[in-house]
Structure 1
Amino acid sequence: MKLTTKLMAFSAIVSASSASAVELEVMHWWTSGGEAAAVGKFAEAWDASGNKWIDGAIAGGGDTARPIMVSRIIGGDPPAAFQFNHGRQAEELIEAGLLLDLTDVAEAEGWADIVNPPNLLDACTVDGRIYCAPVNIHSWQWMWLSNGAYEKAGLPVPTNWTEFSESAGALQDAGITPLAMGGQSWQQNGAFGVISVALAGTEAWLAVNRDKSVDAVMSDEYTRVFEAFGAARSLSEGLNVQDWNQATAAVINDTAGAQIMGDWAQGEFALAGEVAGEDYSCLPGLGEVGVLQTGGDAFYFPVVDDAEITAGQKELAALLLSPPVQVSFNSAKGSLPVRGDVDLTTVNECTQKGLDLLAAGATLPAGETLLSPDTVTQLNDLMTEFWNTPSMTAAEVQSAYADIIADAD
């Protein structure tokens, strides 16, 4: 197998016994325009190493893709690599011995010294062994606003959630949907989480998601969140889209005022030629709480009975965290690199806001690192039911939310 110069020191691990290129099928759910451009950077780097990237994109997002990936793995036909989020999504696969141990790669490449924040590598670690390669930092804690929509409505761009809420009526009068929201359940629950941090505060959010406190769910702070989320339902009326990037497109096209969405939305703005600070604005923590969640994406590698493929998997894992690949991928994706030692002097002002929060230690763990996939699914279902059922009261959903948290693991 042909090794890149960067990885020559890693030859004892990856066993360069073959001169032929290694073809690796890589499964992921990055199918929007911005996401496809970003994952293309990985493919380009792998192909440039003399190997071959076989793209296994699955449309429909993680909720659609993860079951397909798991089915392939447990059915004995695994891809060479697959994307999951940082956190607990791969727990059962690791416990079953189906995923490749990457500890030797991590030690050879010094991941413990370069991955920042360290909890991203912790999320890949089970019983002291490392099973995934973290590739980015993504945070849900953002609101994206259309400068053009606010100019059309004759309003200044809001600087926080309160100002946004107060601007909604004027936007509607100008024929603009205030809040772009797609139809998938993870979008509603994700937006609820952002509003929770902004309005209830980080300690209350941690009490619910980390400590599984029913009292925190039923507190006055969280009552305010459920009421605000209920009031926001009317702000998305008139925009009927399903996918998150379709909602982002409404902000790009100035037909919607804002969207609560993770920083992956920046990939869509970049693809459309939008300039941060000119065409769109961004509010971490909805402008209410300066905080960044440190979730993101990681690649796992199924165990296969093929020494050459296994060597290729380990080479790819190392390549994904190499400095030039980290910069090219994350610049296209809108995320932050997991390496704290790469040059990001050319990033836009929204990415710089994220970097400043990261440098200041103003971070929270991602919800998927604290809650099991089953709990997340239950909350997704509940919050999309609430969003789409105007007759459902804030008090009703608050009580149902508390019941789920009471049984959460």
Structure 2
Amino acid sequence: MRMMLAASTAIGIAGGAWAEDLEITHWWTSGGEAAAVAEFAKAFDATGNKWVDGAIAGSGNTARPIMISRITGGDPMAATQFNHGRQAEELVEAGLMRPITEVAEAEGWANAIAAPGLLESCTLDDELYCVPVNIHSWQWLWLSNKAYEEAGIPVPKNWAEFVASGPKLQEAGKVPLAMGKQPWQAAGAFKVLVLSLGGPELYTKVYDEKDSEVAAGADMIPIWQAADEMRKLAAGSNVQEWNQATNLVITGQAGGQIMGDWAQGEFQMANQVAGTDYTCLPGLGDQPYLSTAGDAIYFPLLSDDAKSAAQLELASVLFSSEAQLAFNAKKGSLPVRKDLDLAEANDCMRQGLDILAKGNIVADTDQLISPDTNTQIQDLMIQFVSDMNMTPEDAQARFAEIIADAD
């Protein structure tokens, strides 16, 4: 069966015998993201097939319900983006996604993957259901060198120095911390504080072991104090989308932003150079640990045999060395393959690769908690960031309740 599959796939790539139009839905719509996804489209079109772009404006929180509704409603796309973890778990369990195990085994993905946990996140009952296309980590503080130069103070080297720089930035007319008003951004920044200030053991006890006593305990008090500092620093950041917040940093209107490494794609689109125009602090400069999350492409079950065969060609292309290099260079993320020549990697990407090579990694919360639990945390954090009357103590108590009921 696998021998026949490999032969058929080769024929389709070489001769276009199965040239098909495949709709791929995703939420890669910012400037850097659009440039990155265009590289995947180019690579797939080179097989003789056609990438039909199904971009959905907004964040994943906006796009995922639309994608899920189409799949469950009998109008599936050929492929769709989800994040690594449990977002597609129910779709897989319902038999609405097709496995791609044959391609992965034939091409030796297990030997090439840089973070094996990403393949594990794609696996259910010994079948692989998705292609990891990048390694994203949330634990980055992006700093505008221009903003600090104009404020007359040095660029911070850690979170404490960043907090201390806030008043000087405000005196210079800068927003200390750029943050969009979407719930996922506030929740993402909070989990960065947990790992980068509290350390991997605290992070694991809270998000993986779901220890509500730890979540309610003394070790989390400094984290909530830092979250209180965070919301005060971000109080003047009147933007909605994450890339709008990134643009405040790029243009020197804000001192910094806590955001995943996808933000780097926006810096590159603006022709800014890491280490010269902007500075990156993995782990907020305190604890060099990164969560290994990212994007994955899943393949809904189709009734059309030709399109089903083309799905497997797409899976092969997405994991290929050429496509991985081209896509991640534009996206700002780390490639999922460990066998690539990354001579052109910039300063921030090299820092991320060094952390990855040392094994200083943890699973992302998307892999540890359910979408429902994640939504509850997002709702809590956007309330906390937006409502200064909500005390850190009250927020911690509510957070501990959520963790106690987490699944």
TM-score by length of 1: 0.96
Q: How does 1:168-179 map to 2 (within 5 A)?
A: 168-179=166-177
Tell me by how many angstroms 1:287 deviates.
0.4
Q: How does 1:84-233 map to 2 (within 5 A)?
A: 84-233=82-231
Q: Between 212-221 and 381-390, report the one with greater CA deviation.
A: 212-221
- For the structure 1 residues 165 and 18, does the alpha-carbon distance in structure 2 shift closer, same or farther, using more than 3 Å as the test? closer
Match of 1:304 in 2: 302
SS at structure 2 position matched to 1:317:
helix
What per-residue deviation string (whole Å, max 9, x for no partner) do you get for residues 144-166 of structure 1?
00000000011110000000001
Q: Of the candidates 317, 326, 329, which is equivalent to residue 328 of structure 1?
A: 326
SS at structure 2 position matched to 1:281:
strand
What per-residue deviation string (whole Å, max 9, x for no partner) do you get for residues 107-133 of structure 1?
111111111110010000011110000
> Matched residues in 1 for 2:157 and 2:219: separation?
22
Kept in 2, the 8 Å contact 1:181–1:259? The answer is: yes
SS at structure 2 position matched to 1:293:
strand
Match of 1:254 in 2: 252
Gaps of 5+ in 1: 1-6
Q: Of the candidates 3, 24, 27, which is equivalent to residue 29 of structure 1?
A: 27
> Matched residues in 2 for 1:221 and 1:260: separation?
22
What letter matches 1:205 in structure 2? Y
What per-residue deviation string (whole Å, max 9, x for no partner) do you get for residues 38-57 of structure 1?
00100011112211110000
Match of 1:239 in 2: 237
> Matched residues in 1 for 2:216 and 2:376: separation?
18
Tell me by how many angstroms 1:219 deviates.
2.2
TM-score by length of 2: 0.97
SS at structure 1 position matched to 2:273:
coil
Tell me by how many angstroms 1:85 deviates.
0.3
What letter matches 2:114 in structure 1? N
SS at structure 1 position matched to 2:33:
helix
What letter matches 1:88 in structure 2? R
> Matched residues in 2 for 1:167 and 1:18: separation?
58
Match of 1:57 in 2: 55
SS at structure 2 position matched to 1:257:
strand
Kept in 2, the 8 Å contact 1:199–1:221? The answer is: no
Aligned length: 403
CA RMSD of aligned residues (A): 1.5
> Matched residues in 1 for 2:28 and 2:243: separation?
11
What per-residue deviation string (whole Å, max 9, x for no partner) do you get for residues 204-232 of structure 1?
01000000001111222211111111122
> Matched residues in 2 for 1:222 and 1:31: separation?
36
> Does the alignment pair 1:11 with 2:7?
yes
Kept in 2, the 8 Å contact 1:294–1:366? The answer is: yes
What per-residue deviation string (whole Å, max 9, x for no partner) do you get for residues 27-80 of structure 1?
000000000000010001111221111000001110000000000001101000
Give me the identity figure in percent: 56
Kept in 1, the 8 Å contact 2:140–2:261? The answer is: yes
Gaps of 5+ in 2: none
What per-residue deviation string (whole Å, max 9, x for no partner) do you get for residues 278-337 of structure 1?
000000000010111110000000001111000000110011010010000000000001
Kept in 1, the 8 Å contact 2:136–2:293? The answer is: yes
Match of 1:48 in 2: 46
Tell me by how many angstroms 1:357 deviates.
0.4
Tell me by how many angstroms 1:237 deviates.
2.5
Match of 2:350 in 1: 352
Kept in 2, the 8 Å contact 1:141–1:291? The answer is: yes
Match of 1:390 in 2: 388
Q: Runs of 4 or more off by more than 6 Å in structure 1?
A: none
> Matched residues in 1 for 2:376 and 2:341: separation?
40
> Matched residues in 1 for 2:158 and 2:338: separation?
29
Tell me by how many angstroms 1:397 deviates.
0.5
Match of 1:3 in 2: none
SS at structure 1 position matched to 2:58:
coil
What per-residue deviation string (whole Å, max 9, x for no partner) do you get for residues 339-392 of structure 1?
000110111000000000001111111110000000000000000001000000
What letter matches 1:158 in structure 2? P
